[in-house]
Each structure stands twice: as C-alpha cells, then as structure tokens.
C-alpha cells in the first residue's frame, strides 16, 4: 500500500482530532517542537474526563470508604464500588466479587504468586513464556525459590509467536498447576492465542493466567470467552491514573486462596488469638485502597467504551500497517518480530545506532519513544539483542506522527552512519 493510502485508511476509522482535544498534554511542546508521543505502551496519556473525575472526587465527594457511617463516606463507597461493577462488565466477569483492586498489574501477579502459590506443592510447576515482562517472571522465580516448585519457560519462535508444540511438551507430564502468559507482548506486539493456550492448559489440568496489561487497551476482553482463570491489567496504560490495577479471578479460586496482605478492611473478626477473613474480594484488599485512582479508572473505562473497541481496534490496526510500511523504508531499520497477530507496538533496531542514541535524538525532535530492554531481559537475550527502540500507538496517535518518526529516523541514521 502506498504511504498516502495507508494514511487515509487511518483517518476513516476515528475522529482523532476531536479525541486529541480531550488530552491537554498533547498540545505541549518539547524542546520547542510539538510533542509526538509514541510511548503509550509504557503509560498512556489521560483524557480530561479522567482528570476531572479525580479532581471532582477530591473537591466535592471524598471520605474514606467502607467504614464511615456518614453521608460523605457512603457516597464515596458507592462511587468506589460502582467501579467494581464496571470492571466486571468490562471483562465480562461472572460477578463483581471476582474483581480485586490492586496497585497495578505487577501487584496483581504478585498476589496470585503469593496466594495461589501458597496452594502449590513442591514438584508442581508453573509455565511462563520467553517473552514475559519481568512482572510476570520475577514473582514466579520468587515462588520457585520459596516453595520448591519448578518454573518452566515456553519458547517463542523466531517470528515472536509462542511455540505451541513446545508448550504442549511442557504440559505433558501433568505437573503444571498454572500457565502464566502475556496476552500481548510489550516488546514484539505479539497477541498470543489465549483461547488455544487456555484449552491446552485446562486439558493438562492446569489453571491459566493472562497478563492483559497491554492487551486490554486495544481490544474487547472477555475472560469467559478466553477461558481464563486469572486475568490482570493496569489502569495507567488504559488512559487511567497510576496506582490502580485489577486482578480478575474465578471466585472459587479466590475463595480457596489465603489473603495476600493483612490489615484493615480485609477481616471479618479480629482477636489477639485469631482472626477471620472478609469475603472475597475484600479479603484481598487490605488497608485504605486507591479510592481516587479507582474512580479515575472507572472514568477511563467509560471513556474508552464510549469510543468503542471496534473503532479503537480499526484505528490502531490501520496505524500499525502505516507504521510498518513507513518504517520498512528507513534504511538500515530492522523490525524485531513478525508475529502472526500484532497490536500497536513496534520494536526496532537501526544498523549500529544504539537505541539510547536513537531515543535521545528523537527526543530532541519532540518524539517520545522507549529504548532499552523494556523489562524483558530474557527476551532480549533470546533475540540476541541488548536493547531495542520501541514506538507504540494509542487512540490519539496520528499517521502524521508516524511520518515524523520515520523522517527523523532517516536523518538520525545519516548523522551516525
């Protein structure tokens, strides 16, 4: 497809100009250039609706929740708990009791490693993949070292897809209790075949956890259709605030698992001799939660759903095609990974120009990309790289911004080579 035609395709799907108006930060300048923000996979920018919902809470309707016997506390509790209903619908959970609020995806996975991990016996195994974010690797290593379980790593193909035959082999001895895998790679953009993986895991008697940190942003998520047992995501990548994440898990699992942290809110009765736990999900929410951030997450979900995943998906797919087309024309540029199905995340290298130099020079031109190992060191080693540069797209990304990226990369290469 020609450059003009891939640009036009992007335009048809979404009124991006109107969407950009809702993101105050996008009119900022960096080094006297208009900000070109291509790092949404690390954290997305926030629309006015989210900023306003949080500010409104603090201005007009705020008190601690679940404990006050007064009007303001009750209203705040309602607003907070309403987000639980919203997240349950967002993920198509069976019930609101299956939604546990955490600080982020990392905490959600640590919760599972701690509390589901407590049910595992030495000799059982957990399977992850070669392309996990450290958030879905380190907690399992810690569990392995603590509980004497085995940690198995499913390889990826050179294209960047999960090697399903090899995964089948890892499941064969029936010792695997959990398969914990990314639903979308933050480095390669690979969307993993979650339903297939869940079916394979279940056939081998294992539960399955999907790290949806990247995936929930780009597509409708239906935990029942995926056949998931655990699912995690993080608010700040979904146009919401930092400090709020979600663990979804089947209720029977949550009920069988011991608490993660102890403290206020998670108890039923307390004496010095013995305490009993609150029902799920409150058993897993010790202490005053991120009330304001949770309300901000609710606003983000409403905002995203009002645009709709159909339009978002089409927009990002068109942007990705445009970007792959434009970047292919940059001399010396190599795109890392050619997965069967990819989201709006593209990692690349450019001859011998170090990704950090690429990122710094792009930044001088107002363009924000990520460079480094992207919290996935073992994946970098698998790819034979130490670092890549990564451009990632969001609802507000314009095809012209990708053109600016490609043009600037050509100049950077000329500068170094």
Partner 1 sequence: MNSLTDSGALYDRLIVDRARTPLHAGRLEQADAQGEGKNPLCGDKTRVDVQMADTHISQIRHQTRGCAICLAAADLMAERVTGLTVPQAQDLSRRFSAMLVNEPASTPDTNTNTPALGPLEAFAPLRAHRARIRCAELPWVALKEALSHVDV
List residues binding partner 1 (CB under 8 A).
Answer: 31-32, 353-357, 360-361, 364-365, 371-373, 380, 386-387, 407-408, 411-412, 415-416
42 φ, ψ to 5°?
A: -80, -45
CA dihedral 104, 110, 111, 113 (to 10 degrees): 150
* DSSP 8-state assignment for residue 190: B
Where do contacts with ligand PLP occur on this chain (CB under 6 A)?
104-106, 133, 135-136, 182, 186, 211, 213-214, 234, 236, 375
- Cβ-based nearer residue to partner 1, 251 or 413: 413
**Residue in 138, 147, 286, 375 annotated catalytic:** 375
Pairing of strands 29-30, 33-34: antiparallel
316/41 Cα distance (integer angstroms): 12
**Residue 182 touches which of partner 1, ligand PLP, none (CB < 5 to 8 A by kind)?**
ligand PLP
Name the minimum Å distance from CB 134 to partner 1: 12
Residue 407 structure tokens: 């043009």
**Residue 281 touches which of partner 1, ligand PLP, none (CB < 5 to 8 A by kind)?**
none
357/250 Cα distance (integer angstroms): 46
Residue 176 structure tokens: 């695997």
**Residue 361 touches which of ligand PLP, partner 1, none (CB < 5 to 8 A by kind)?**
partner 1
Residue 229 structure tokens: 């047992």
Pairing of strands 207-211, 230-234: parallel
- What percent helix, strand, coil does the chain show, rounded to 5? 45, 20, 35
Name the minimum Å distance from CB 408 to partner 1: 8
Name the minimum Å distance from CB 34 to ligand PLP: 26
Q: Which of 172, 112, 105 is nearest to 134 (CA)?
A: 105
* DSSP string for residues in 231-285: EEEEGGGGTS-SS-EEEEE-HHHHHHSPPSS-STTSEEEE-SS-EEEPPTTGGG-
107/222 Cα distance (integer angstroms): 21
Long-range CB contact pairs, 71-79, < 8 A, 24+: 76/291, 79/295, 79/298
Name the minimum Å distance from CB 415 to partner 1: 5
**Residue 190 touches which of ligand PLP, partner 1, none (CB < 5 to 8 A by kind)?**
none
Name the minimum Å distance from CB 139 to partner 1: 19
CA-to-CA separations, 287 to 84, 151, 375, in angstroms, rounded: 17, 32, 29
State yes or no: is 60 an active-site residue.
no
Name the minimum Å distance from CB 217 to ligand PLP: 10
**Residue 214 touches which of ligand PLP, partner 1, none (CB < 5 to 8 A by kind)?**
ligand PLP
**Residue 234 touches which of ligand PLP, partner 1, none (CB < 5 to 8 A by kind)?**
ligand PLP
- Cβ-based nearer residue to partner 1, 168 or 360: 360
Question: Cα–Cα–Cα angle for 140, 128, 171, nearest 5°?
Answer: 115
- Cβ-based nearer residue to partner 1, 314 or 375: 375
Which residue numbers are catalytic?
A: 375
């Amino acid at each position: 497809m020609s450059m003009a035609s891939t640009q036009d395709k992007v335009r048809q799907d979404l009124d991006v100009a109107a969407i950009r108006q809702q993101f105050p930060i996008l009119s900022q300048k960096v080094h006297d250039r208009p900000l070109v923000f291509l790092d949404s996979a690390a954290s997305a920018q926030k629309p006015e609706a989210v900023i306003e919902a949080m500010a409104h809470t603090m201005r007009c309707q705020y008190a601690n929740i679940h404990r006050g016997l007064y009007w303001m506390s009750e209203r705040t509790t309602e607003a907070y708990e309403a987000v639980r209903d919203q997240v349950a619908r967002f993920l198509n959970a069976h019930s609101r009791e299956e939604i546990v609020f955490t600080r982020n995806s990392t905490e959600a996975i640590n919760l599972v490693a701690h509390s589901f991990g407590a049910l595992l016996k030495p000799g059982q195994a957990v399977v992850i993949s070669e392309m996990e974010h450290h958030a879905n690797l380190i907690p399992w290593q810690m569990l392995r070292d603590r509980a004497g379980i085995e940690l198995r790593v499913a390889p990826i193909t050179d294209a960047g897809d999960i090697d399903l035959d090899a995964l089948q082999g890892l499941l064969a001895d029936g010792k695997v209790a959990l398969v914990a895998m990314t639903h979308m790679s933050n480095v390669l953009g690979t969307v993993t075949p979650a339903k297939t993986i869940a079916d394979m895991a279940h056939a081998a008697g294992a539960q399955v956890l999907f790290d949806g940190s990247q995936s929930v942003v780009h597509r409708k998520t239906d935990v029942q259709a995926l056949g998931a047992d655990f699912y995690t995501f993080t608010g700040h990548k979904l146009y919401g605030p930092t400090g709020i994440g979600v663990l979804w898990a089947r209720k029977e699992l949550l009920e069988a698992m011991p608490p993660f942290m102890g403290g206020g809110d998670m108890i039923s009765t307390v004496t010095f001799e013995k305490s009993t736990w609150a029902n799920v999900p409150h058993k897993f929410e010790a202490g005053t939660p991120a009330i304001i951030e949770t309300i901000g997450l609710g606003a983000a979900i409403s905002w995203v759903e009002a645009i709709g995943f159909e339009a978002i998906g089409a927009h990002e797919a068109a942007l990705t095609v445009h970007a792959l087309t434009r970047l292919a024309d940059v001399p010396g540029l190599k795109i890392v990974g050619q997965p069967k199905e990819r989201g709006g995340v593209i990692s690349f290298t450019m001859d011998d120009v170090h990704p950090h130099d690429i990122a710094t020079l792009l930044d001088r031109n107002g363009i924000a990309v990520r460079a480094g190992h992207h919290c996935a060191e073992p994946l970098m080693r698998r790819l034979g790289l130490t670092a890549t540069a990564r451009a990632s797209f969001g609802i507000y990304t314009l095809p012209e911004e990708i053109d600016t990226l490609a043009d600037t990369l050509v100049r950077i290469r000329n500068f170094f080579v």
